[in-house]
Amino acid sequence: MPRRAHSDRSSIAETIAIGSELLVGGRSDSNSLFLTEALGRLGIEVRFKSIVGDDRSDIVKVLETAVQRASVVVLTGGLGPTIDDCTREAVAEATGRRLRRRKEALDGMTARLAQWGRVPNRGQLRQALIPSGAAVLPNPVGSAPGFSLLWKGATLISLPGVPREMEAIMQTTVTPLLAAQLESNNARQNPIVRMAFHTWGLPEADVDAKLQGLIPRHAPVDLGLLASPMGVLVSLTTQAHRPVGEAVLTTLAEGVRTRLREWLFAEGRDTMEEVVGRLLTKQGLTVAIAESCTGGLIGHRLTQVPGSSAYVDRGAICYSNRAKTDMLGVPAELITKHGAVSQEVAAAMARGIRERAGVSVGLSVTGIAGPGGATNAKPVGLVYVGLDAGPGDAVSKEFRFHGDRSVIKQRSSQAVLDLLRRWLIGKGGT
Amino acid sequence: MPRRAHSDRSSIAETIAIGSELLVGGRSDSNSLFLTEALGRLGIEVRFKSIVGDDRSDIVKVLETAVQRASVVVLTGGLGPTIDDCTREAVAEATGRRLRRRKEALDGMTARLAQWGRVPNRGQLRQALIPSGAAVLPNPVGSAPGFSLLWKGATLISLPGVPREMEAIMQTTVTPLLAAQLESNNARQNPIVRMAFHTWGLPEADVDAKLQGLIPRHAPVDLGLLASPMGVLVSLTTQAHRPVGEAVLTTLAEGVRTRLREWLFAEGRDTMEEVVGRLLTKQGLTVAIAESCTGGLIGHRLTQVPGSSAYVDRGAICYSNRAKTDMLGVPAELITKHGAVSQEVAAAMARGIRERAGVSVGLSVTGIAGPGGATNAKPVGLVYVGLDAGPGDAVSKEFRFHGDRSVIKQRSSQAVLDLLRRWLIGKGGT
């Protein structure tokens, strides 16, 4: 992304996730997407993210840095009842305030625990300790309240790490508070708009080439590309300090759609499984799946969507050859002749599951996920997918994927769901 | 975790992940687990993690902070060929060095591209630009080399963001370089040992209670707990600046095992599906799965393990009632009488899949994943799991889970795999 002009820290935010287990990594910080979006709607841009353990002096260091570069600092975590949780103490130390047990914090917690027939224990009483001068942020769904205070010209907000509690406090208290603050400072910002476009089937370099020259030089919109086993994500993001007309954004988005055409399978937070689910529902169709190398992943993905029981009838995970014959009626001779990983078997699997389930459309995948099972003729990553909607309406495709077992399973599931999506659109769906 | 004595920055590391898309969040920073472990083996503790966009002046700010609090700073990302990638420029600016095209960087890249019959394009030529005085770190698996330099007494290491490339450079060059540096400074540290214990079936508070008093006060070992839908993770982590005898660690680990007993299903990087896979292999048994509300997740998890085709025969995803009858022979009257979500149907599903597949053991899950489908008598989260290994050797259990659709699917899959694990251990497995 191009660099932007910025000389002060106004409308810049930093998030600080606190917890020693977060340092070990490998875990996604699910809070930060929510915070980035919620602050972005106020025109506040998250430009820095920090992660630090449950260590008081380390948290103090991170806080001191954050207030130098951001005007809004949101801490998550470290407000629990155990001795590890030291965010309260760290904020008090950094800002030179004392911790005091606050009536409004204690009352909320006591009332909540009373509902469950309990009284606060010693650890929970610690959760009512708040740095002096801070505003208590009530927690409508849990025991630990958050708090906010002004320090060195920055607004410092401390929230629980539990996503549900963090989100509730953000929505009920923090967002209105920040909006009022921006208003009274006459510092209202343009909301940061981020549009996401999900593509499948084109390498990142080809997506890049197709989008060349889309965004006029110096336009206040950033274009982002991110490749993953599930495809290439394209994003358009506006900048808080420069207003962007709605017409400009609409034109750019239309440009992305025109250039990426059928490779674009979803926008925003939509997923492939939600898109095909909506298309199936609209067309009143049902589906069944025959999976070999994906081992159930396609069924799992389709059934992540609430209400999917209306169009997913069944799936057959046919890991053994005998299962392909038993469950789908794939002739044993066909498997012997072409091998279980072949276009012929993929086609027979899709037809077999459609006929046995009595659904509108059958899907199939057979392939070599590796690391074992490859031969010279059939390498790891060779995958066949099939779709069968009745005589004369069937298609199967060959793919050669790269990656480890898990990546090949993911790419295979995406390939077959995209085959279904294209078929549904070809039938007139949108 | 208890706070530790520390007054200087030696043996403290910071990782900095660079990329505007990382700021949007929701994505796990998969590099950081690898870096934390690799540095930990050298006795270098990652105590700070930062994430920043592709913005030169923001990267400079983050670098300036990092060298004040860490002696080893590892940057990942921003070394690609596009104009967005500005890590090289930011490091040059922060450290007051010039970027120069370096022969050793160019030669490696040219040779690699030549293998694919290509020559470097303009963007790739930029990847040979290295800050003056920096050591080039060859990239054995990609085109962008890394580099390292000393600045303000800290070692600054810049690596590509692609996990495979980052890992390869860490292993071939960075780890030996840091080890030699520690050696020559007489600053060799104790390796940081982290032991992980995975439990299922106990709430976090109960795990905490069972582990009370395990670790003697002031022992140089930290105990960590982390709850997720997959169970509670317990960790023991040693501290780099205080040696821990192997006997002490062995005793503590034994203490964790004794106290957590059958709730402990795996250690280290092991997963539930690997554990049951090994038990099945050792006992020469095969398995088939009948899934309703999990929709294929159990099959997906079991088949994530390389070699699982030796013991996974098949799975039936029976989303509709008819599928339960067709694929598993569950009597329609049984479903009418008790409902599809019932202990009776779970038992019949497990027996049905075992008999039809001709495997040693059949597993089943039926439940209400929500948000729809609940009744007063059968709320969202009500789940039955079953196991059938033949007449007189069957078990089924009821669970009432909390959480959204995705969480209930995860917990259900964990519950049925744990049922299998306990049954396999009961047969004398370890």
Per residue in B227-252, pLDDT tens?
888 999 999 988 777 778 788 889 99
Q: Hey, is the C-beta of B308 within 8 angstroms of any chain A C-beta?
A: yes
* Phi, psi (rounded to 5 degrees) for A243: -70, 145
Selected residues 337-376 of chain B with any CB under 8 Å from a CB in chain A:
356-357, 369-373
Q: Is the pLDDT of residue B6 over 50?
A: no
Q: Which of A282-291, B241-250, B402-411, B421-430 is modeled with the greatest confidence? A: A282-291
Q: Hey, is the C-beta of B397 within 8 angstroms of any chain A C-beta?
A: no
Q: Which of A32-46, A109-123, A237-251, A331-345 is modeled with the greatest confidence? A: A331-345
Task: Tally Cβ neighbours within 10 Å of residue B338.
Answer: 15
Selected residues 193-252 of chain A with any CB under 8 Å from a CB in chain B:
194, 208, 222, 224, 226, 233, 235, 237
- Neighboring chain A residues of B62 at a CB cutoff of 8 Å: 48
Question: pLDDT: is A209 or B241 the higher one?
Answer: A209
At B3, the pLDDT band (50, 70, 90 cuts) reads very low
Q: Is the pLDDT of residue B68 over 80?
A: yes
Structure confidence at residue A6 (pLDDT): 43
What gap in Å lies between CA B191 and CA B241, rounded to an integer? 9
Question: pLDDT: is B97 or B7 the higher one?
Answer: B97
Token pair recorded at residue A280: 């199936």
Structure confidence at residue B8 (pLDDT): 67
The 8-class DSSP code of residue B262 comes to G
Q: Hey, is the C-beta of B53 within 8 angstroms of any chain A C-beta?
A: yes
For A26, the closest of B30, B55, B86 (CB atoms) is B30
Interface touch A317/B322, C-beta < 8 Å: no
- Neighboring chain A residues of B357 at a CB cutoff of 8 Å: 323, 326
Structure confidence at residue A5 (pLDDT): 41
The mean of the pLDDT values for chain B is 91
Q: Hey, is the C-beta of A378 within 8 angstroms of any chain B C-beta?
A: no
Q: Hey, is the C-beta of B323 within 8 angstroms of any chain A C-beta?
A: yes
- Give the list of residues 6+ apart from residue A229 with CB closer than 8 angstroms, or none: A403, A407, A410, A411, A414
The three state secondary structure string of chain A is: CCCCCCCCCCCEEEEEEECHHHHHCCCECHHHHHHHHHHHHCCCEEEEEEEECCCHHHHHHHHHHHHHHCCEEEEECCCCCCCCCCHHHHHHHHHCCCEEECHHHHHHHHHHHHHCCCCCCHHHHHCCEEECCCEEECCCCCCCCEEEEEECCEEEEEECCCHHHHHHHHHHHHHHHHHHHHHHCCCCCCCCCEEEEEECCCCHHHHHHHHCCCCCCCCCEEEEEEEECCEEEEEEEECCCCCCCHHHHHHHHHHHHHHHHHHEEEECCCCHHHHHHHHHHHHCCCEEEEECCCCCHHHHHHCCCCCHHHCEEEEEEECCHHHHHHHHCCCHHHHHHHCCCCHHHHHHHHHHHHHHHCCCEEEEEEECCCCCCCCCCCCCCEEEEEEECCCCCEEEEEEECCCCHHHHHHHHHHHHHHHHHHHHHHCCCC
Mutant choice from A192, A233, A291, A319 vs B, greatest count of B C-beta within 10 A: A319
Task: Tally Cβ neighbours within 10 Å of residue B277.
Answer: 23
**Domain A272-426 class?**
alpha beta
Nearest to A271 by CA among A233, A319, A241: A233
Global ipTM: 0.88
> Which residues partner with B17 through β-bridges?
B51, B76
Task: Tally Cβ neighbours within 10 Å of residue A26.
Answer: 15
- Give the list of residues 6+ apart from residue A119 with CB closer than 8 angstroms, or none: A110, A113
Q: Is the pLDDT of residue B386 over 60?
A: yes
**pLDDT (average), residues B59-80:** 96
What gap in Å lies between CA B202 and CA B224, rounded to an integer? 16
Q: Is the pLDDT of residue A109 over 50?
A: yes
- Distance, in angstroms, between A25 CA and closest chain B CA? 4
What residue of B is the nearest CA neighbor of A293?
A: B303
Interface touch B303/A319, C-beta < 8 Å: yes
Question: Edge to edge, what strands does the sheet with B264-267 contain?
Answer: B221-228, B231-238, B194-199, B264-267
- Neighboring chain B residues of A296 at a CB cutoff of 8 Å: 289, 291, 295-301, 303, 315, 317
Structure confidence at residue B2 (pLDDT): 40
Contact A400, A382 (CB under 8 A): yes
Q: Is the pLDDT of residue B184 over 70?
A: yes
Mutant choice from B3, B67, B237, B274 vs A, greatest count of A C-beta within 10 A: B3
Q: Hey, is the C-beta of A329 within 8 angstroms of any chain B C-beta?
A: no
Q: Hey, is the C-beta of B269 within 8 angstroms of any chain A C-beta?
A: no
Looking at chain B, which residues constitute the CATH 3.30.70.2860 domain(s)? 194-267
Interface touch A25/B4, C-beta < 8 Å: no
Contact B47, A55 (CB under 8 A): yes
Write the burial class of residue B96 (CB in 10 Å: 0-12 exposed, 13-18 middle, 19+ buried). exposed
At A7, the pLDDT band (50, 70, 90 cuts) reads very low
Interface touch A56/B302, C-beta < 8 Å: no
For B300, the closest of A237, A295, A357 (CB atoms) is A295
Backbone dihedral region of B218: left (phi > 0), alpha (psi from -120 to 50 degrees) or beta? left
Write the burial class of residue A228 (CB in 10 Å: 0-12 exposed, 13-18 middle, 19+ buried). middle
What gap in Å lies between CA A372 and CA A360, rounded to an integer? 35
Model-level pTM? 0.89
Q: Is the pLDDT of residue A317 over 80?
A: yes
* Phi, psi (rounded to 5 degrees) for B271: -115, 165
Q: Measure CA A126 to chain center.
A: 34
Contact B60, B90 (CB under 8 A): yes
- A-B interface: how many C-beta pairs under 8 angstroms? 266
Structure confidence at residue B244 (pLDDT): 81
Nearest to A198 by CA among A270, A255, A254, A253: A270
Nearest to B327 by CA among A11, A404, A10, A290: A290
For A405, the closest of B83, B304, B405 (CB atoms) is B304
Selected residues 401-430 of chain A with any CB under 8 Å from a CB in chain B:
405-406, 409
What gap in Å lies between CA B95 and CA B132, rounded to an integer? 10
For B23, the closest of A28, A47, A69 (CB atoms) is A47
What gap in Å lies between CA A297 and CA A302, rounded to an integer? 9
Looking at chain A, which residues constitute the CATH 3.40.980.10 domain(s)? 12-184
Tens of pLDDT, residue by residue over B332-353, are 999 999 999 999 999 999 999 9
Structure confidence at residue A407 (pLDDT): 93
The 8-class DSSP code of residue B404 comes to -
Looking at chain B, which residues constitute the CATH 3.90.950.20 domain(s)? 272-426
At B430, the pLDDT band (50, 70, 90 cuts) reads low
For B20, the closest of A20, A83, A224 (CB atoms) is A224
Nearest to A405 by CA among A304, A300, A295: A295
For A55, the closest of B3, B28, B235 (CB atoms) is B3
C-alpha torsion angle, residues A40, A45, A46, A48 (rounded to 10)? 170
Q: Hey, is the C-beta of B38 within 8 angstroms of any chain A C-beta?
A: no
- Give the list of residues 6+ apart from residue B207 with CB closer than 8 angstroms, or none: B199, B225, B232, B234, B260, B263
**pLDDT (average), residues B354-366:** 97
Question: pLDDT: is A218 or B39 the higher one?
Answer: B39
For A21, the closest of B53, B224, B296 (CB atoms) is B224
Tens of pLDDT, residue by residue over A65-96, are 999 999 999 999 999 887 789 999 999 999 99
Interface touch B25/A49, C-beta < 8 Å: yes
- Neighboring chain B residues of A313 at a CB cutoff of 8 Å: 319-320, 322-323
Topology of domain B12-184, per CATH? Molybdenum Cofactor Biosythetic Enzyme; Chain A (3.40.980)
Mutant choice from A8, A44, A65 vs B, greatest count of B C-beta within 10 A: A65
What gap in Å lies between CA A168 and CA A151, rounded to an integer? 24
At B225, the pLDDT band (50, 70, 90 cuts) reads confident
Q: Is the pLDDT of residue B374 over 50?
A: yes
Q: Is the pLDDT of residue A254 over 90?
A: yes
What residue of B is the nearest CA neighbor of A297?
A: B300
Structure confidence at residue A423 (pLDDT): 97
Nearest to A198 by CA among A288, A127, A264: A264
Structure confidence at residue A430 (pLDDT): 60
Q: Is the pLDDT of residue B142 over 90?
A: no
Structure confidence at residue A360 (pLDDT): 98
What gap in Å lies between CA B296 and CA A296, rounded to an integer? 4
Q: Is the pLDDT of residue B29 over 80?
A: no
Interface touch A36/B24, C-beta < 8 Å: yes
Contact B197, B205 (CB under 8 A): no
- Distance, in angstroms, between B166 CA and closest chain A CA? 15
Q: Is the pLDDT of residue B294 over 80?
A: yes
Interface touch B317/A326, C-beta < 8 Å: no
Structure confidence at residue B110 (pLDDT): 86
Structure confidence at residue A2 (pLDDT): 40
Structure confidence at residue A245 (pLDDT): 79
**Residue B153 three-state SS:** coil
Q: Does domain A194-267 have CATH number 3.40.50.10420?
A: no
Structure confidence at residue A8 (pLDDT): 67
Q: How many residues make up chain B in this entry?
A: 430
Interface touch B294/A300, C-beta < 8 Å: yes
Q: Is the pLDDT of residue A305 over 70?
A: yes
At B288, the pLDDT band (50, 70, 90 cuts) reads very high
Q: Of A210-224, A251-265, A347-361, give the lowest mean pLDDT range.
A: A210-224
What gap in Å lies between CA A62 and CA A39, rounded to an integer? 20
| C-alpha Rg value of chain B to the nearest Å | 27
Percent of chain A with pLDDT over 90: 70
Question: pLDDT: is A364 or B118 the higher one?
Answer: A364
Q: Is the pLDDT of residue B53 over 50?
A: yes
At A4, the pLDDT band (50, 70, 90 cuts) reads very low
Token pair recorded at residue A229: 């086993």
